Amino acid sequence: MTSIDFKFFIENDSNPFILFSSSGKLKYLNTSAEILMGSCNPKELFKIALSYAPKNFGYNKTAIELSFGSFEFYGINVLYENEDFIGMHLYNKPMAKINDSSLLKGYTLTDLNLLLQANIELFDINYNGKIKLLTDYDIPKLQIHQNNFSMLLRNIFSQFKDNKKLEITMKIKLGERVIVNDKRYSIIILQLKSTSRHKEHDKEIELLALKNHINIHFKESATILEIPAIV
């Protein structure tokens, strides 16, 4: 029988795979897991692996919703065959799919960095704290409804109006695409983060995001947008 390099298939799996030593040290990460490490703490993942490990050698699959930054999973598989190593697969939630023939009505090709900067300047007029912006200026122009998106941003900014500082990060999400009208597009991640945020208008903000065909994630002190980069 021909020898098969199974590591190649694991390395290029879109689902993260992590191998720990018995003490919790990272021994192996596939490409997807390396990307995930930028949004989570390995110690937290090791703790999850131990909590859902099988009682005896083998594997244990569990349906569980996990989120780390903008990464979301619907289940895990924890495996071990000896006392030295324990592995864990995390299963990505299905790729978002949008089918809407009227999606681009009112949309225009937009430099998202310029639109974000304009809204930051408007917010900063009455803001008494400091704003730190970290963005990828190579993000290409994309189709967006400028008025609706600006309204969404203004509502999100208001969640942080009483904080002394606000960190804003915008970048392209690696390793994941969104399907819009049967075409695949990159996803732009926009995160606003501080020490706390007002949560009383989360539902209204979520509806505004959905109106813009944008996924939104609310954390204790952060709000994250996943924007389809329709070009």
**Identity at 105, one-letter amino acid code:** K
What tokens appear for 65 in the block?
A: 């919703």
State the pLDDT at residue 98. 58
In the chain, where the domains are located:
6-92, 98-228
State the pLDDT at residue 67. 81
pLDDT tens, 77-119? 999 988 899 999 999 876 655 555 556 678 889 999 999 999 9
Cβ neighbours for 70, distance < 8 A, ≥ 6 positions apart: 39, 173, 187, 189, 191, 217, 224, 226
CATH number, span 98-228: 3.30.565.10
* Best CATH choice for the domain 6-92 from the list 3.50.50.60, 3.30.70.240, 3.30.450.20, 3.10.20.580: 3.30.450.20
State the pLDDT at residue 93. 78
CA separation for the pair 208, 100 (Å, rounded)? 17
C-alpha dihedral sign at 56, 60, 85, 26:
negative
Per-residue pLDDT for 166 more than 90?
Answer: yes
State the pLDDT at residue 32. 85
Per-residue pLDDT for 193 more than 70?
Answer: yes
